[in-house]
Amino acid sequence: MHDFENKLAHSLDHLEDSKVKQAMLYSLCAPAKRLRPQLLYGVLKAYGANESQGDRCAIAIEMIHTYSLIHDDLPCMDNDDLRRGQKTCHKQFDEATALLAGDALLSEAFGYVASATYQNSINNDLASEFVKAIGANGMILGQMIDLLSENVKTDLDTISKIDLLKTGCLFSLALVCGCLIANKKGDIEVWRNIGYKAGLAFQIQDDCLDVISSEEKLGKSISDEKNQKSTFVSELGFEKAQKLYLQYFDEIENDLKKCNIHSEPILKIFQMIKNRDH
Ligand code: GRG
């Protein structure tokens, strides 16, 4: 993650100055955990590959994650005021600018993937993985099912599907990109599954944090109750939900220990996620 914040801050330097660029930078460079880039770099380290090879994909994934947050916060979606400890993009700018900022981050992200020069021309594989993860069979589908679940009692299978698609797909993408860039295509499904488990664990943990933490600490609105959404905590109770996400993190640790990699750095990232308080 050497100098990642600086790389992100300069990632839009090629764009003409405009209000939409200001809005993109406002949301992209807001204080955030950068978990998905950390995971991508973690896989490269696990294979002993050069970390800087991951820069363009890591930036692209953070752009896409930021776009999803901007759109998720819009009045037509979750209608939130606070994100990453600051006003949401549409509150700071306006709705139309926020919509465009999200669209533009998504477009620029693909520019980053397309123009990366990797060995064995893996750019096509990477682009396909991006579309699979974030398109209408991935993150967007998760968001659609989530929106349709508001004010409706939702069973655990559906909640799991939403979490897997909304969060797991992007975690998986980060790990899979690391695997492809390290030229270890044969291991791709192992990383994909770890990403899905991590997304599920992360989202159940989020449901738990929503109960015990504050908006100030989380840096975002606590909106599940407001939007009348079923969550793992509402369906299982806090203790069972907590047990379940810890179980998923244990499984991830065991999966990683079975891989033929230098597992320490990536284990540390998952431990950090497991112990997070926001
Ligand atoms: C095209 C209209 C349209 C929408 C795009 C909005 C959307 C599709 C998907 C939403 C996906 C979403 C918001 C999932 C939740 C993801 C999540 C776990 C967010 C929080 O991630 P952290 O904690 O946040 O890593 P930071 O701020 O640290 O990066």
CATH class of 4-274: mainly alpha
Chain-centroid distance of CA 137 in Å reads 16
Q: Which pLDDT does position 224 carry in this prediction?
A: 59
**Tokens read off for 245:** 């996400």
Tokens linked to 144: 């659609």
- Compute the distance from residue 119 Cα to the ligand 1 centre, in Å: 31
Q: Is the C-beta atom of 97 inside 6 A of ligand 1?
A: no
Nearest atom of ligand 1 to the alpha carbon of 66: 29
Per residue in 163-195, pLDDT (tens digit) is: 999 999 999 999 999 999 999 999 999 999 999
Going through 47-200 in order, the beta strands assigned E by DSSP cover: 82-83, 86-87
Evaluate: CB of 83 within 6 angstroms of ligand 1: no
CB 209 within 8 A of CB 71: no
Return the closest-CA partner of residue 56 out of 28, 32, 37: 37
Closest residue (by CA) to atom 5 of ligand 1? 68
DSSP helix/strand/coil, 82: strand
Backbone φ and ψ for 11, nearest 5 degrees, come out as: -70, -15
pLDDT tens for residues 7-32? Answer: 999 999 999 999 999 999 999 999 99
Pocket test for ligand 1, best of 167, 171, 196, 207 (most atoms within 8 A of CB): 167
Q: Identify the pLDDT of residue 102.
A: 98
d(CA 208, CA 245): 9
The answer to whether 60 touches 112, Cβ cutoff 8 Å, is yes
Extents of the domains making up the chain: 4-274
Pairing of strands 82-83, 86-87: antiparallel
Q: Which atom of ligand 1 is nearest to the CA of 83?
A: 27
Nearest CA to ligand 1 atom 3: 71
